[in-house]
Structure 1
Amino acid sequence: MDDLTGRDSTAKDSTASTAKDGTRTREVIAEAGGAEGSGGAQRDGFGGRRAGDGEVAESGEVVDSRETAHPRRRWLAGRKHRRSYSHTHFRVYKRRWFGLAQLVLLNIVVSWDWLTFAPVSTSSAEYFGVSETAINWLSTAFMFAFVTITPVTIWTLNRSPKESIIVSSVLLLLGNWIRYAGTKAQGGVYGVVMFGQILTGLAQPFVLAAPTRYSDLWFTETGRVSATALASLANPFGGALAQLINPFLGSVPNIVLYVAIISTVASIPSIFIPAAPPTPPCASASVSKEPLLPSVRHIIRSPPFYVIALTFAVYVGFFNAFSSLINQILYPYGYSEDEAGICGAVLIIVGLVTAAIMSPIFDRTHAYLGGIKVLCVLVAVSYLGFIWAPQTRGIPAPYVLAAILGASSFSLLPIALEYLVEITFPASPAVSSTIIWAGGQLLGGIFIVIMTALKDGRDVDLTRVREDGRGNGGGDRPPGNMYRALVFEGAVALAVLPFPLALGVKRFGLAHGEGRLKVDEHREGAGSGSGEGDGEEVL
């Protein structure tokens, strides 16, 4: 291994002479075998211990072991030395794509589990002999389960993304097969299905909150948004598959069986993914993150965090509620379950395509703040427009608005998550990401309850709706319509809009200081002392 110290023109004379004599070689690349180590190294995700007596930290400077013996001191030592990047050897590893692919796969199946019954809510209610409100509670309970396990998720994800992924896989396996048992027993036992649904809901936060933590651990500043987008947007993609495919899978037991098989196949590879890279991918990744409790204190003292958290929670909550209720929104106006399912698929597929185009652009420009403001306007206007879309009884209005809503919502999601990590740096991404996702799931469940309560109380004549279709009138407020629920959705989405528009304004105290991107810029400005191999991609 090259001696990385003799080439630094700013090194102290004593250090330079020591390196020249060959008595000490500074190695900043930790051994891969130490990636599963304990203490601070485990929190940072890189192999080996932090520097001890005579050891050298990732920054390239000698650090006394007394400075790093305690987690808090270890983090402070990282802050003290975080500007010294001249000796650090950064690499990205091809194996990161294996872990990312598994994270994508699990986010797809966990969302598919969530919306198993929503696209066929009418058929599901008939099969279990319950009301559509009870079927809505399957989606609602799934989201509330996220909130209840949030503290455990933060702790697990802060330890290791791999541990979080494995926990999710186990819960998915249990939940899916319990749901299937509930659909087959005695012609369908709703309570057993609900229990299985709650278990799958408990699985969701362990993978849904993981993308920012995983991308921070494995990716550079020019790839984090795309990695976060790929893993995060896989979740609504799973919802799109549910909306599009489930109505064609036949009976309710068959739907649950097929989803259980898919979930089982998707969960098995989790035990084989790598836990952490042997070396950091970039300068900001080599900086020690705050321990768990200091991270929480740091985050709750950040005014911009509350703005992002509120905006994110409301818009994610409405997206979840809208996805769960789209069949009930359109069905009273004569739209078939297939047409409602296609509308949900348009919402998500157009969003995925748009996000795939926009995420690399934001990776290069880092124009997070401007993107958030523009996209929030489009999201709010889309919800407002959907108040009147079902009344047209035509395909274009709901499908076009669903496309705009999907494009803006999906493009907003990854940049909001990455901007949040930026403004709360060096707090652990596991903390901020899990908190705001929990807020989105909590509000999603609450919004479903509220919007269901605002539904027109008259029973839908299913036979007449199926026979008449969309083209036979029925008025602007047919039995079972959700007009008032859509008004509530549009009004709240519009009321929240001024908050993200105020981000970055110093007068309101919503400007943020130096963040993660600045650390990477400092490193680029200083250059890498070794130069050789810096930033290369290896296996």
Structure 2
Amino acid sequence: MPTACSPLLADNMSGSSQPSQDSKAVVINDPVEEFSQAPVYRSYKRRWYGLVALMLLNIVASWAWLTFAPISSNVADFYNLNSESPVNWLSTVILFTYPIGSVPCAYTLHRRGVKAAMAVSAILLIVGSWIRVAGVKCNDGKGSFGVLMFGQIIIGLGQPFSLNAPSYYTDMWFTSKSRVSANALASLSNPLGGAIGQLVSPAFVTETSQFSNSVLWVSIIATILCLPAFFIPSRPPLPPCPSAANPKLPIPKSFKLLITNRRFIVIFLIFSILVGYFNSFSSLINQIMEPYGYSSDDAGIDGAILIVVGLVFSAIMSPILDRTHSFVLVIRIQVPIIAICYICLIFTQTESKQLVGPYVVSGVLGAASFSLLPIALEWVQEQVFPVSPELTSSILWSGGNCVGGIFIVIMDALKYDSNEGDPPGNMRRSLIFQAVVAAATIPLPFLLGSKDKMRNRRIEMDAAEATAECSATSTSHVSSV
């Protein structure tokens, strides 16, 4: 049994279990028999295969979400649309569909487990991708915008089954020493897919005639990346730690506890607003930058910087937090930084077409936003344990996606018409709205309460079990001498 005290256990088991004649110690129980009855925990290497499959699903889901955002003008030309506003709905519809898919997703994870949820996600993503191909190839190559939109809706229904799963998966397969890092890898692969979409779509589509073939190639790649999800193990033979073995509360009881938990409500507000703004900014970045003379490639690179820098910084921060567990401190630092970045975005969009300003602000914004995601997902579960992790992640992600859809609609409505504004068609009013709401989140982390009243319940349970096990091992070793 792999524990911190296993050397003592090995010494004790290798020696005689009978006391010497000179010893005054009395052996009451056979230590070998005592240890054989103790719970056994084990971390399996196969957990990484399941994590990679989950990452691939999230990459596909996000790539599909942002396929059309960086080439919105080409999409509008292909379908002979009067404006880019209908193209925005290709991203927005996925965000609004997300909460609908989250309801069956939570019950699938709770009743059937992560393997069933990932299989459902893979099927819906594949089907939705090929419906999109029909949407660009039908009608003698002229396509059907309605069919394309239907494919997006199917993808939107499949996205929760992969994006809500990381908290459930890490709780089942990983210990408290690696949950944040594992959750970061799985959850942040979703925006990684967005970065791929931001870069690949403009590269595939340099002119409108290339649009239909680009959708076909994305569907082929998506199908290949979804296949590993059908072959992951359903659950580990042995739990990795005590908190993973602890039974979780039923969904109805978990929901009642969540809506009365102040810390969960505060994190829900922060998570929904900041994830919502990331979703809206990623979807509209091309339309924000183009009026000032930036190209779609410039906008795509800016979106990629936002995501790639965020992924790198999160990869650095997550292992540190797995060891220090300084969740609240980081939340209180990152939220004001994110708000300041959204304020700075108002002033970086200028007709001078200086790329340094937008790129630097996007990099800082990505670093702060991305490192905050896995922290919020894992810290909330520490506070509400043993509430079902699939329910907490489903509610948080549903809030972020739904609010993101609302923000896109509002920001699109605040956009100047093509013959209004300076420059015409700019989104300065949208950026001001974004900054004001983001600034309103700054006080929220300080409503979480004092640190001494917060308990990391899963971490405490695992630490208490390890301490008790070490104590029992030491006692049995002494008694056998």
TM-score, with normalisation over the residues of structure 2? Answer: 0.88
Q: Partners of 2:94 and 2:232 in 1: how far apart?
A: 27
- 1:100 counterpart = 2:21: no
Q: Distance in 2 between matches of 1:223 and 1:195?
A: 39
Which residue does 2:72 correspond to in 1?
121
CA gap of 1:146–1:457, structure 2 versus 1, over 3 A, is: same
Contact 1:156 1:164 in 2 (8 A): yes
Select the residue among 487, 503, 522 that pairs with 2:464: 522
Pairs aligned (count): 445
Deviation at 1:526, TM superposition (A): 1.3
Q: What is the RMSD of the two structures over their aligned residues, measured on CA atoms?
A: 2.4
Q: Percent identity?
A: 48
Of residues 360, 366, 376 in structure 2, which corresponds to 1:406? 366
Deviation at 1:266, TM superposition (A): 1.1
1:429 and 2:353 matched? no
Paired with 1:529 and 1:220, the residues of 2 have a C-alpha distance of: 21
Cα-to-partner distance string for 1:17-50 (whole Å, 9 max, x where unaligned): 8x8599x9996xxxxxxxxxxxxxxxxxxxxxxx
Question: How do 1:64-463 and structure 2 match up within 5 A?
Answer: 87-130=38-81, 131-159=83-111, 160-186=113-139, 187-250=142-205, 251-391=210-350, 392-459=352-419
1:453 is matched by which residue type in structure 2? A
**Contact preservation (8 Å) 2:173, 2:236:** yes
- In structure 1, the partner of 2:435 is 490
One-letter amino acid of the structure 2 residue matched with residue 88 of structure 1:
P
User: Could you tell me how far apart the structure 1 residues matched to 2:318 and 2:357 are?
Assistant: 27
- Which moved further from structure 2: 261-270 or 439-448? 261-270
Displacement of 1:512 after TM fit?
Answer: 3.4
- Show the counterpart of 1:37: none
Rounded to whole Å, the distance in 1 between the matches of 2:230 and 2:299 is: 38
Inter-partner Cα distance in structure 2 for 1:287 and 1:21: 25
Distance 1:218 1:482 in 2: 45
Match of 1:536 in 2: none
| Structure 1 equivalent of residue 6 of structure 2 | none
How far apart are 1:458 and its partner, in Å?
2.7
| Structure 2 counterpart of 1:36 | none
Runs of 4+ with deviation above 2 angstroms: 19-22, 24-27, 510-514, 527-532
Query: Greater share of helix residues, 1 or 2?
Result: 2
1:144-182 CA deviation, whole Å, 9 max, x = no partner? 110112211110122311111000000011100000011
Residues 316, 440 of structure 1: 8 Å contact kept: yes
Q: Determine if contact 2:118/2:162 at 8 Å carries over to the other structure.
A: yes
**Distance (whole Å) between structure 1 residues aligned to residue 61 and residue 473 of structure 2:** 43
- Give the 3-state SS of the residue equivalent to 1:288 in structure 2: coil
Using the TM superposition, give the Cα deviation of residue 377 of structure 1 relative to its aligned residue in structure 2, in angstroms.
Answer: 1.2
Q: Distance in 2 between matches of 1:193 and 1:357?
A: 39
Describe the shift of the 1:531–1:479 C-alpha distance in structure 2 as closer, same or farther (beyond 3 A). Answer: farther
Structure 1: which 5+ residue stretches go unaligned? 8-15, 28-59, 61-86, 461-475, 533-539
Give CA-to-partner distance per residue, 1:245-286, whole Å, 9 cap, x none: 111113211221111011100111112100000111012112
SS in 1 for 2:128: helix
Find out whether 1:479 has 2:438 as its counterpart.
Answer: no
Alignment-derived partner of residue 16 in structure 2: none
Which structure 2 segments of 5+ residues have no match?
3-8, 14-26, 475-481
